[in-house]
Amino acid sequence: MLEVIALDAVDAEAVQAGGADRLELTVDMAADGLTPPVSVLRDVLSATDLPVRVMLRDAPGFAPGDLGRLRRDAGVLREAGASEFVFGFLDAKGWVDEAACAALIAELEGCAWTFHRALDNSADPEAAWTVVGNLGCDTVLAAGSPSGVGDGFPVLERLAARQDTVRLLVGGGLKVDHVAPLKAVGVTGFHVGSAVRPGGWGAPLSADAVRTWANLV
């Protein structure tokens, strides 16, 4: 399964044209991705019939920030058609902020969701895997290390062995030569962003690059 980051409707069209399976919708990659405006969501849903996972994050970092605002945003986005989400929070000690996650989950009423790369920045990624699985996510996006997949392979290998009801989605500095060894240890989900933007985040997303990745995975 290939998931690709999209920032707008034009990106969504290119993601679908390239043969990806799902897109993650976010904005402001200078802040590592924030909640998109509802207008952007509507445009994207009109541009693609791929599944769309919508980021819920109001500030850089992994603290919950303004949880009330996030809950309101979740409600508005759901009313506009969102049915899948991406989020994840840590407390000041680096453990999964279960209370904050649970408060947002209550707003989502059974929607599928991904716990994002907060896991890589947690005090214990493998313990966090168990916690977020118990919270009800169906996917964990991880690189295995805050510095990316290149340094995170040992952790990813251990997480891949623990997949059951939760799927490991590998992303964060993912490169072509990482794919085969990851597949060999049981990884079936791959997530890319900058890898399909040859000109950087300010340049268009390349459908051809998406197709290369789709064929690879």
Per-residue pLDDT, 160: 98
Is residue 109 pLDDT above 90, yes or no?
A: no
Task: Find the CATH number of the domain harbouring 44.
Answer: 3.20.20.380
Question: What is the spatial distance between Cα 12 and Cα 207, in angstroms, rounded to a whole number?
Answer: 10
Mean pLDDT, the chain, rounded, equals 97
Q: How many domains does the chain have?
A: 1
Classified as helix, coil or strand, 213 is helix
Sign of CA dihedral 58, 112, 195, 170: positive
pTM equals: 0.96
Range of the domain at 164: 2-216
Per-residue pLDDT, 15: 98
The string of pLDDT tens digits covering residues 111-158 is 999 999 999 999 999 999 999 999 999 999 999 999 999 999 999 999
The string of pLDDT tens digits covering residues 24-43 is 999 999 999 999 999 999 99
